[in-house]
Chains A and B, each alone.
Chain A
């Protein structure tokens, strides 16, 4: 029998009377990569936070290398050889890599810093796993993928032989993901034990030795990964039912150009050029997917296209209407709808009633307002109707938006934007942070909107999603259009464009 690096038995963790983990068993074999699969809110992160000492379990025991352990703080976890890399990196951006590693640690040279020695050790460790991290580069200069490697390196340097990785590939391009998986395999072969939290089935199939599936806080089962395990099987365990992976092909050919973007230039919040001569045509009844590594101008583009950000140069034409630098209200009244990237600060007034959020863009119109006064009855009725139609799980329209889960919040936004019968819909990360079921629902609605003749621009970090939805995929890098690919493009080719390799023969007809 192989040695177990971690054994968790009957772990129960309760938040506000909700069981985030309900009597979960979990075992991690030494020297293996173990996938922790489940939808958002299934309790994956909670379970790992319990193991890392961030949460204390209400019931259950933890054994590390066979010995019972009370993990009551991350410090304790680190001393037991457990390291965790969170979804959001915990790095001080103005500092160098080695300074970040040294943060909060005692120097071996008393009151003097042992920077050089630490840097040398880091370099050795980085070389060993082929991570290519320069200990003296500043964090803000590094790409997201490199920052992630710094986080892992830090954990290893602290002496971790059990690594907990929370959705590590969410921010990586396909190429970076492959590189990352190589590193993981190397670490496994070196005897490290790794937990990979994910909701992506491809990753489970690609790299994992064993997988444990959680659903609604309960452990559904643990499988040894071999050829016999199929994607469908995992999906059923994860969702509890079958999920449609293939949507119907677009039955309707795209029509005339609806939204024409010509040589757009704009700056980001820091005043740095974020869009450079960006041109793109979106036709009615068409979904154009916008692929790119986060922070390459996607958000600025969406803001420019909805009037939220001023344009320095260029033209935006909706049918025959000049739209550049008009106020947001003008875009709204001309049928440009927007599913914003950030639900919490932009898409919803979080502390406000749901029914008020639902009429955010039409509160002054009949039937919601008459003679300048709001018509409470019409608003309530509209909420009830919409709640039923979009299956929003909420007690009543007077609840705050904050009280809903992410998926239901997104449904409220989706309902508001789609019900207004958009001519153009700009959707920025419409399924980010949603579970499989809710994401599927959102995608279906986007396709329906296309079917109704709207022109859609969908920005997503999830390449699978773009491939599934888009009629064409545009790739942005450093604020520039790298190229446009037709349906059925090779993900690898998209990945290359995402990393800034310009398409040789430009198909861009703008």
Chain B
């Protein structure tokens, strides 16, 4: 138990160091742009909490980032590098919206049906990559990435074509009926009950890692040989893992559509997919770590906007910091791997 705490402490310290390094490099860039980094960062931080609206926005951003981060972490634990959260998010949104718009049922039945549609479609979308991996050994990094483009353009096709709102000229669908929308928690603020669903997803993820299914998923991440040896059906577990990972992203899409926009529209996923990947890695694939990292990124997103408004620092700095964190996280992972290999090599020689 003591060691567990120590391990967690080490990981947290690593994450903090990465973020600090990214902020430091970001500060240099702010200086180059002729601004005071301290001022920029303090504006960023205070900007995120300065009003009710801002705090509400913080949670609006937190919901999709954290849910998708959790979803991605499921695949990453199995060493399945699913970077297709964006596509899965989109496909989930499309399916839910289509069901919400075109299926005529009382809201009590329709609402859960839209959620199921999102889960099935997004899970199936990720499953496609899983199938290609299991059947043809196709690298899931490539397939999930490519599936993002397909989902993106499919969305464009729909909102400019068959699903375009008949009442308008904008690239977006019609609004889903009010009865199946996710309600705002406080009137006048955008933050909605999707927040509660986020908490449910968090709890489910925690439970997953305590379950035998979670054991299997973690085990295939330890290696195919040892998993097969343990009697685990590796192919089936890969498929299941990809489905879960995609389905969770689909849930995020469903919440975003039904809680915020009430419709699908061009570019609706924004950079959530990328941020969720960073959040999952920065949080060391641990639910609590992911929660903290998601919160941090929400501050960056909301505060970054007010930083741009209040100072001359461009919002791009936030993107730069995000990119730097990715680089540091990956460098950290690779460095860890090399250290392990080196140590193993030495033990091997010495034996």
Residues of A that sit less than 8 Å from B by CB: 15, 20, 40-41, 45-46, 49, 306, 308, 327-329, 331-333, 338, 340, 342, 344-352, 356, 360-361, 363-364, 369, 372-374, 376, 395-396, 398-399, 402, 406, 433
Contacts and interface: CB of A to CB of B under 8 A. Distances in A.
B233 interface: yes
Interface of B: 1, 3-4, 7, 207, 210-215, 218-219, 222-223, 225-226, 228-233, 340, 343-344, 346, 349-351
Contact of B212 (A20, A306, A373): A373
A372 B340 CA distance: 33
A356 B3 contact: no
B223 A372 contact: no
Chain B contact residues: over half helix, strand or loop, or mixed? helix
Nearest to B346: A15
A328 B231 CA distance: 5
Nearest to B226: A349
Given A327-B231, A361-B230, A373 B225 contact: no
Contacts of A374: 210-212, 214-215
A351 B223 CA distance: 10
B350 A349 contact: no
B229 A373 contact: no
A41 B340 contact: no
B93 to A, nearest CB: 31
A335 B49 CA distance: 61
Contacts of B222: 349-352
Contacts of A399: 3
A373 B211 contact: yes
Nearest to A329: B231
Given A338-B229, A361-B230, A349 B223 contact: yes
A396 B233 CA distance: 29
Given A361-B231, A373-B212, A347 B349 contact: no
A347 B229 contact: yes
B213 A372 contact: yes
Nearest to A344: B344
Contacts of B343: 402
Nearest to B2: A396
A331 B228 CA distance: 12
A433 B351 CA distance: 7
A364 B212 contact: yes
B344 A345 contact: no
A348 B226 CA distance: 6
Contacts of B346: 15
A274 B152 CA distance: 50
Top-10 shortest CB links A-B: A349-B222, A329-B231, A332-B231, A360-B230, A364-B212, A346-B225, A328-B231, A345-B225, A369-B212, A346-B229
13 contacts: A40-B351, A342-B225, A351-B340, A352-B218, A360-B219, A369-B212, A373-B210, A374-B210, A374-B211, A374-B214, A376-B210, A398-B4, A402-B343
A349 B228 contact: no
A327 B212 contact: no
Contacts of B212: 363-364, 369, 372-374
Contacts of A363: 212, 215
A20 B212 CA distance: 41
B3 A329 contact: no
Nearest to B7: A398
Contact of A345 (B4, B223, B349): B223
A328 B351 contact: no
A433 B223 CA distance: 22
A338 B225 CA distance: 13
Nearest to B209: A374
Contact of A45 (B210, B223, B349): B349
Contacts of A345: 223, 225-226
B268 to A, nearest CB: 35
A306 B218 CA distance: 23
A41 B229 contact: no
A373 B207 contact: yes
A331 B230 CA distance: 10
B205 to A, nearest CB: 14
Q: Chain B CB within 10 Å — which of A45, A327, A360, A406 has the most?
A: A360
A348 B222 CA distance: 9
A328 B228 contact: yes
Given A349-B222, A372-B211, A373-B212, A45 B350 contact: yes
A349 B340 contact: no
A329 B228 CA distance: 8
A346 B3 contact: no
B313 to A, nearest CB: 41
Given A308-B229, A363-B212, A364-B215, 19 more contacts: A15-B346, A20-B350, A46-B350, A49-B349, A327-B231, A328-B228, A329-B231, A331-B231, A345-B225, A347-B229, A349-B223, A349-B226, A356-B215, A361-B231, A364-B212, A373-B207, A398-B4, A406-B351, A433-B351
Nearest to A332: B231
Nearest to B230: A360
A409 to B, nearest CB: 11
B228 A308 contact: yes
Q: Chain A CB within 10 Å — which of B215, B343, B346 has the most?
A: B215
A48 B340 CA distance: 24
A399 B226 CA distance: 18
Contacts of B223: 345, 349
A361 B3 CA distance: 25
A289 B351 CA distance: 25
A473 B3 CA distance: 47
Contact of A398 (B3, B213, B219): B3
A41 B225 contact: no
B258 to A, nearest CB: 30
Nearest to B214: A374
A41 B351 contact: yes
B231 A349 contact: no
B340 A402 contact: yes
